[in-house]
Amino acid sequence: MVEAYDPGDPAVRRDPFPLFARLQEEEPVQWSPALKAWIVTRYDDVRAVTLDGAYTAERMLPFYERLPDERQARIRELLRYLSLWMVFRDPPEHTRLRRLMNRAFTPGAVEALRPRVEAIVESLLDGLEGRGEVDFIADFAMPLPALVVMSMLGVPPEQLAAMKGWSDDMAVFVGSARGSRDKYERAERGAREMAASFRALIEARRAAPAEDLTSALIAARDEREALSDDELVASCMLLLFAGHETTTNLIGNAVLWLCRKPELQEELRARPALIESAVEEFLRFDGPSHGLGRVVAREHELRGRRLRPGERLFALMNAANRDPRAFDSVHEIRLDRSPNRHLTFGHGIHFCLGAPLARLEAQVALPRLLERFPGLGLAPGELRWLDSMILRGVEALPLRLRSG
């Protein structure tokens, strides 16, 4: 029998892939006592979970309603907004919210952001020059996507530290952190303060609309499928949170593997046209999101296990992306891998809205980093992986840099 999956185990957090492989072979649907949830690891099963009406994305309110009154009071403001995030909604509400927000992420709209992304990349790289050693997460991988999405929303760049702090506080709850004893208090505080900031921004844009996404969402309220006031605030919070947390990990994990395997740096420098497929391969090999959470909506069997309504389930994309039933040479990084039908951005109606923007940011950032710093390598220090059931990345990434 395979050991039970426990993301709180430091060894598993550091390298979960050997356990994922054993689960796929011997126990592809496993009950995790640590998580009190089902764990699904095979590619076909993870993909099916995203499409099957036997599972629901609406897991926040049921969770909240099961809590004792005193614990409900501790996270009332947090759940006020999280319950309205479209990632936690089923149709028809998900469909309505998605349709309104899709407008900002059409291929044309994302491509129009390229000059802004390039300018932010160059500014951040300028800040790394001459420093020798840096924390790549704090100094580049986090501020790049955060500043991009803040610019889209009309949030002043001076609020980066505050927004990041509030987002980190919320992440201990949204990411199902196991080791944070005060996660409810932190998440409640972060949600309350971020919501207040966005309410102030929304009021300012109502008085004086601008060319930004917040103004566009406010304008959408006048149409038939209007956003309520709370939905407007919640949508801004979701875009800020989701728009940088996973992209930070995408870029950070990619650079970590470029440092661990310097031959990949040389391959990308020699063949710059590989960048699009390279980003897809980094997404597959060690993706920024471990998995997605669902709740069982109706009783059924999966791989011989009986799943009952109300039980939680985690479909692990990072496991599915190394399933030998779906990919060749699963534990190798092949920058020219094609086809590459990874599930990192999900599948079906909940496919990641910001996927085109995340791809653009990585495709711009990685080549410029390698061009400007040919002596890219890891600095001494132990890597600490995020305490999260959902997010996959390191807290800090110490690098040694040598300019070209």
What is the DSSP code string of 209-246? --SSHHHHHHHHTTSTTPPPHHHHHHHHHHHHHHHHHH
CA 226 to chain centre: 27
- Judge if pTM exceeds 0.85: yes
- The single-letter DSSP state of residue 389 is S
Tell which CATH classification among 1.20.1300.10, 1.10.30.50, 3.90.75.20, 1.10.630.10 matches the domain 10-400.
1.10.630.10
Q: Is the pLDDT of residue 225 over 70?
A: no
**Rounded to whole angstroms, how far apart are CA atoms 37 and 198?**
34
Map out the domains of the chain as residue ranges. 10-400
More confident residue, 35 or 359: 359
Query: Could you identify the residue written with the tokens 């710093």?
Result: 373
Q: Kindly report, residue by residue over 253-306, the tens digit of the pLDDT.
A: 999 999 999 999 999 999 999 999 999 999 999 999 989 999 999 999 999 999
Q: Is 172 exposed, middle or buried (0-12, 13-18, 19+ CB in 10 A)?
A: buried
Residues 6+ apart with CB under 8 A from 284: 321, 322, 327, 337, 340, 342, 344
- pLDDT for residue 68: 74
Structure tokens at 172: 């201990």
**Rounded to whole angstroms, how far apart are CA atoms 111 and 373?**
26
Percentage of the chain modeled with pLDDT above 70: 97
CA 178 to chain centre: 18
- pLDDT for residue 281: 98
Q: Is the pLDDT of residue 404 over 70?
A: no
